[in-house]
Structure 1
Amino acid sequence: MREGYDFSLYKADAIAGLTVAIVALPLSMALAIASGASPDKGLVTAIIAGFLISFFGGSRVQVGGPTGAFVVVVFNVIAQHGYDGLLIATLMAGLILIAAGVFRIGRLIKFIPHPVVTGFTAGIAVIIASSQVKDFLGLSLENVPSEFVPKWQAYAGAIASVHIATVLVGLGALAVIVALRRFAPKLPGFLIALILTAAVVAFLGLPVDTIGTRFPDMASTIPMPSLPAISWARMVELLPSAFTIAFLAGIEALLSAVVADGMTGSRHRSNQELIGQGIANLGSVAFGGLPATGAIARTATNIKAGAKTPVAGMMHALFILIFVLFASDLMAYVPMAALAAILFVVAWGMCEIDRFIALLRMPNSDRAVLLLTFGLTILVDLTVAIGVGVTLASLLFMARMSETVLLDNGNAADDDDEFHRDELDQRDDLPKGVEVFRISGPVFFGVAGELLDAMRKIGRTPKVIILRMRLVPMLDASGVTMIEEFIEQARVSGAKIILSGVQHQPKEMLVRVGLSGDHAGVFFETDYVAALNLARQLSTITLH
């Protein structure tokens, strides 16, 4: 409001809000069903929490609602404690998030190592995809086990009951989504797939499961606000689930906000974002909704559609509300197999297969953290996976640091002398359009975001950036990811990167992810003098 708001901004935000609403509509229903709830719960969450996240959050373009990260936790809480138990856990999670924002704990989220985040996200994706096999194949199963291995044993036992019409509907929806993503990515593939498959099922009278047959008593209006019956015993019983929900909401919201910052060049306020997430979850509970957080895919869609301010996220919620009020009867015709196809695509996106494979090329320690977190998420429990993953990553980091100190002990004095000798005058000879950053010390999961913050603070993108890395003895997987993100952000802005004085271990890690040689605007030089000479040449070419 301080910067002003006019009709041109509103128009851009309204178009972006409508675009995101079209994407969020089928996703909200599919994620709610995968979580063990009815589709209307997902829509209520997208409306109430989506509006509040944009209104109170710390990011200009964040879009929130139900997400895949919650599916496993929500399903288990509903199965063990009922839907009222989920509401109580979500209520406590909202209060935890608000307290975390007030006490400025948002910055601590960055201490979650990257292999842990990738491992549990990929694990959740596998669980989501596994949960949809019954609906996609039309299997005759009354009760599907919640555990991963027994679930697949049940599928194998019921394989003879595959329903051909259901499979064809699911494959048709999947083919439409994949084809549109390949040949017409701007079109809303999820919604088009639902409309086409629903029309085919209704026109041909196919005997397949639909939302109407599965949920005949589904509400078609927004309920009046109310709160579940709360007791001290229930709160104690549900506290672990509340912390898990709060943790997932916080980490996914802040990861989404960081992605948005990279796409827009803006900077979110992490603690305000946590407060906004907390308020949104309290609001969702009041209307009987699910846990909510920032959604990376919907936020990226919002940005690509031209969103300028938080009004876009609020408009997305209002457009979904309009659909619920005036077109909810049409949802009854949506085939369950089509929703399963949507969740297969969502799960594939969550896997981040390229990043997962890149982490498998990392040293054994990072690989062990990734695979252990991935396996525990699937086979044991998400909370256990995160706890074990973070603990193991911390212990391995301490072991790495002890090795680094021993290796560099003999040269420490020389490094310090040179550091102090040119610390004050490293910027004196910089040509126009060249910027220099010095990184001193190990770049690991706890400090991986500092370089991106430093680049944002200069307020402009230079033509050439020199990263002085001679004093960096170690890079871990999160540090490599940060360097990749920094390079990508610079590349999008048209800047070239020169890495000078890279030591053996950091260079080996960068080579593992393909940043070797003069690759796509990235150059390696042996020392700062050579880097400066190359920067003069590159800046002269760029300026002319």
Structure 2
Amino acid sequence: MFQLTCPGRQCVKNDTLSGLTVALALVPEAIAFAFVAGVEPLVGLYAAFMMGIITSIIGGRPGMISGATGAMAVVMVSLVAQHGVEYLFAAVLLAGLIQILSGVLRLGKFIRMVPHPVMLGFVNGLAIVIFLAQLQQFQVADADGNLVWMSGEPLLIMLGLVVLTMAIIHFLPKLTSALPASLVAIVSVTLLVFYLDLDARTVQGVLADMSGNPQATIAGGLPEFHIPMVPFSFETLYIILPYAVILAAVGLIESLLTLSLIDELTESRGRGNKECIGQGVANTVNGLFGGMGGCAMIGQSMININSGGRGRLSGISAALFLLTFILVGSSLIEMIPVAALVGVMFIVVLGTFEWASFRLLGKIPLADTFVGILVAVVTVLTDLAIAVIVGVIVSALVFAWEHAKHIYAKTYVDKYGIKHYEISGPLFFGSVQTFADLFNPKDDPDEVMVDFANARVYDHSGLEAIDALAERYTRAEKRLHIKHLSQECQNLLVKAGDLVEVNMLEDPRYHVADDRLA
């Protein structure tokens, strides 16, 4: 059942006010990501509005905020530069369809395969990325239009306002929780700058620096229906398909990991497959209404959660407030000092970073520590999706390496002179060498019995290892008996097929990952 917010006026107020806070923080980020992608600011703002409202209504995680993101913007930039913005709209539309298909096929469950060290590295790396992204707000355009670092009085004013914003957000909840601290901080610092006439950089200044136009504004109309103006041909598909697949993958990985983090913070559970569909529908609409697409935003989601937003109303109100800014409130939003928004994001950084991970150093396996640090570093140097993929691969290899050591054999010779090998542990690609080293055909007696009752064969490599073992004993002119293999293993063995003893009552039943089964 669709539930807009939790029961009670307090929930409605919290969701609405936290949505306003999020909308204020969305404006400069959407503008910045639009310029990263090489498109107009309104393309980024429209994306933030459409992503926000659609995923809030039909997505699987109430309280999570979606919009234009840097992770997807860096994928778009080369497509826009080479082929133009219309091809971007087509790629975003196709990416949305891929994401919908992922949800229909229930692929969202695979996010559970992300190990905890990877999640720690993801969160810590993300906090560093958010922090570094705010540093660009300490740059201004010089007379030649080049960005240079602030210095002197402007820098002191900027730092002072950032500290004031952070202080309000930190201490106000100790006095009252009637209003979101982030919203109070933004409004207070804006009024302070306005009435004291401080020389502080504003949202309009950011827009002017990035566009090179002093009169640049975020004002605009409603998004208009617009079919991407590209040739409907295989050549177009050849161009946009690689970008669409990457955009879909990056968007889903970042969204589902953010969903998992919000689940942990709120002690509730979102629906991953439904979120895949929500993200897909939002991106499809973006492609048809002139938006750059996007995915879940960890920073804004954290602002929303910290401000008391829990229901779908918080995301809906954030999107509607953002649209209001575009339609009628651009002049007011452009007055907000950037320092106030930077202060809000610095608080997000402090809340996002897992400081407890420092206490885990030396207390958890070295491999887990390495994976966490690796994911954080790759997140900072490349993007979140690549970092998570790298982390999962490395974790899987570490897991395989460790379990490769767990295969062993108990041996004895019975009264008939037959040597018995009772194998225990997993037989797969990582353990085949250890398995082979357990046997010594040259010194073994003429009759050998290998018992797999306490072992499991997991893949094609394991089957090949058994066949290779049979061949070794055949070359040594000795008789090998194999028992307690699953029927599936028996069917797939080639060289050892005649050596397998069939026992319908005792042989186990399990499946093996092998292409021949397809």
TM-score range, shorter chain: 0.5 to 0.7
Look up the match of 1:496. none
Report the AA paired with residue 184 of structure 1.
L
Alignment check: 8 A CA contact 2:130 2:299 kept = no
**Cα distance between partner residues in 2 of 1:322 and 1:307:** 20
Q: Deviations over 1:246-278 (max 9, x none)?
A: 233323333344455456665433212210111
Matched, 1:223 2:223: yes
Alignment check: 8 A CA contact 1:137 1:167 kept = no
Look up the match of 1:467. none
Seen in structure 2, the aligned counterparts of structure 1 residues 190 and 368 have a Cα distance that, compared at 3 Å, is same
Matched, 1:167 2:155: yes
Q: Deviations over 1:337-375 (max 9, x none)?
A: 544444444444444343466367532212222233333
Seen in structure 2, the aligned counterparts of structure 1 residues 335 and 177 have a Cα distance that, compared at 3 Å, is closer
Seen in structure 2, the aligned counterparts of structure 1 residues 358 and 65 have a Cα distance that, compared at 3 Å, is farther
Structure with a larger share of its residues in helix = 1
SS of 2:334's partner is helix
Seen in structure 2, the aligned counterparts of structure 1 residues 251 and 143 have a Cα distance that, compared at 3 Å, is farther
Pick aligned residue for 1:400 from 399, 402, 420: 402
Look up the match of 2:368. 366
Question: 4+ residue stretches of structure 1 with deviation over 6 A?
Answer: 141-144, 303-308
Look up the match of 2:58. 56
**Cα distance between partner residues in 1 of 2:375 and 2:343:** 26
Report the AA paired with residue 12 of structure 2.
A
Seen in structure 2, the aligned counterparts of structure 1 residues 110 and 130 have a Cα distance that, compared at 3 Å, is same
Alignment check: 8 A CA contact 1:169 1:338 kept = no
TM-score for the superposition, normalised by structure 1: 0.60
**Cα distance between partner residues in 2 of 1:361 and 1:78:** 47
Alignment check: 8 A CA contact 1:134 1:141 kept = no
Alignment check: 8 A CA contact 1:17 1:314 kept = no
Look up the match of 1:178. 166
**Cα distance between partner residues in 1 of 2:368 and 2:33:** 31
Pick aligned residue for 2:25 from 24, 27, 42: 27
Q: Quote how far apart the aligned CAs of 1:169 are.
A: 3.5
Alignment check: 8 A CA contact 1:34 1:71 kept = no
**Cα distance between partner residues in 2 of 1:357 and 1:239:** 44
Alignment check: 8 A CA contact 2:165 2:189 kept = no
**Cα distance between partner residues in 2 of 1:381 and 1:296:** 14
Seen in structure 2, the aligned counterparts of structure 1 residues 86 and 372 have a Cα distance that, compared at 3 Å, is farther
**Cα distance between partner residues in 2 of 1:35 and 1:245:** 15
Q: Deviations over 1:490-527 (max 9, x none)?
A: xxxxxxxxxxxxxxxxxxxxxxxxxxxxxxxxxxxxxx
Look up the match of 1:18. 16
Seen in structure 2, the aligned counterparts of structure 1 residues 362 and 315 have a Cα distance that, compared at 3 Å, is same
**Cα distance between partner residues in 2 of 1:219 and 1:103:** 39
Question: Which segment is superposed worse, 393-402 or 382-391?
Answer: 382-391
Alignment check: 8 A CA contact 2:65 2:301 kept = yes
Alignment check: 8 A CA contact 1:72 1:128 kept = no
Q: Quote how far apart the aligned CAs of 1:103 are.
A: 0.9
Alignment of 1:373-412 (within 5 A): 373-380=375-382, 384-405=386-407
Alignment check: 8 A CA contact 1:138 1:167 kept = no
Look up the match of 1:268. 270
Look up the match of 1:245. 247
Report the AA paired with residue 15 of structure 1.
K
SS of 1:288's partner is coil
Alignment check: 8 A CA contact 2:134 2:342 kept = yes
**Cα distance between partner residues in 2 of 1:45 and 1:193:** 26
**Cα distance between partner residues in 2 of 1:131 and 1:28:** 14
Seen in structure 2, the aligned counterparts of structure 1 residues 176 and 167 have a Cα distance that, compared at 3 Å, is same
**Cα distance between partner residues in 2 of 1:259 and 1:132:** 22
Report the AA paired with residue 107 of structure 2.
I
**Cα distance between partner residues in 1 of 2:133 and 2:303:** 26
Report the AA paired with residue 13 of structure 2.
I
Report the AA paired with residue 51 of structure 1.
I
Seen in structure 2, the aligned counterparts of structure 1 residues 282 and 230 have a Cα distance that, compared at 3 Å, is same
**Cα distance between partner residues in 1 of 2:254 and 2:384:** 14
Look up the match of 1:211. 204
SS of 2:328's partner is helix
**Cα distance between partner residues in 2 of 1:181 and 1:347:** 13
Alignment check: 8 A CA contact 2:190 2:336 kept = yes
Report the AA paired with residue 168 of structure 2.
L
Q: Quote how far apart the aligned CAs of 1:226 are.
A: 1.9
**Cα distance between partner residues in 1 of 2:349 and 2:330:** 26
**Cα distance between partner residues in 1 of 2:114 and 2:193:** 46
Q: Quote how far apart the aligned CAs of 1:106 are.
A: 1.0
**Cα distance between partner residues in 2 of 1:353 and 1:77:** 38
Seen in structure 2, the aligned counterparts of structure 1 residues 205 and 16 have a Cα distance that, compared at 3 Å, is closer
**Cα distance between partner residues in 2 of 1:183 and 1:207:** 24
Alignment check: 8 A CA contact 1:29 1:40 kept = no
Report the AA paired with residue 7 of structure 2.
L
Report the AA paired with residue 206 of structure 1.
D
Report the AA paired with residue 183 of structure 1.
F
Seen in structure 2, the aligned counterparts of structure 1 residues 119 and 303 have a Cα distance that, compared at 3 Å, is closer
**Cα distance between partner residues in 1 of 2:361 and 2:24:** 32
Seen in structure 2, the aligned counterparts of structure 1 residues 20 and 69 have a Cα distance that, compared at 3 Å, is farther
Question: Which segment is superposed worse, 386-395 or 198-207?
Answer: 198-207
Q: Quote how far apart the aligned CAs of 1:56 are.
A: 1.5
Look up the match of 1:285. 287
Report the AA paired with residue 164 of structure 1.
G
**Cα distance between partner residues in 2 of 1:260 and 1:382:** 17
Q: Deviations over 1:22-44 (max 9, x none)?
A: 22112212322342436655543
Greater Cα radius of gyration, structure 1 or 2: 2
**Cα distance between partner residues in 2 of 1:129 and 1:252:** 18
**Cα distance between partner residues in 2 of 1:71 and 1:77:** 10
**Cα distance between partner residues in 1 of 2:79 and 2:349:** 21
Alignment check: 8 A CA contact 2:255 2:297 kept = yes
Q: Deviations over 1:87-142 (max 9, x none)?
A: 34432321121010011111112212333344345444434433443431547497
**Cα distance between partner residues in 2 of 1:382 and 1:306:** 26
Seen in structure 2, the aligned counterparts of structure 1 residues 295 and 16 have a Cα distance that, compared at 3 Å, is farther
Seen in structure 2, the aligned counterparts of structure 1 residues 351 and 261 have a Cα distance that, compared at 3 Å, is closer
Matched, 1:322 2:310: no
SS of 2:405's partner is helix
Seen in structure 2, the aligned counterparts of structure 1 residues 65 and 103 have a Cα distance that, compared at 3 Å, is same
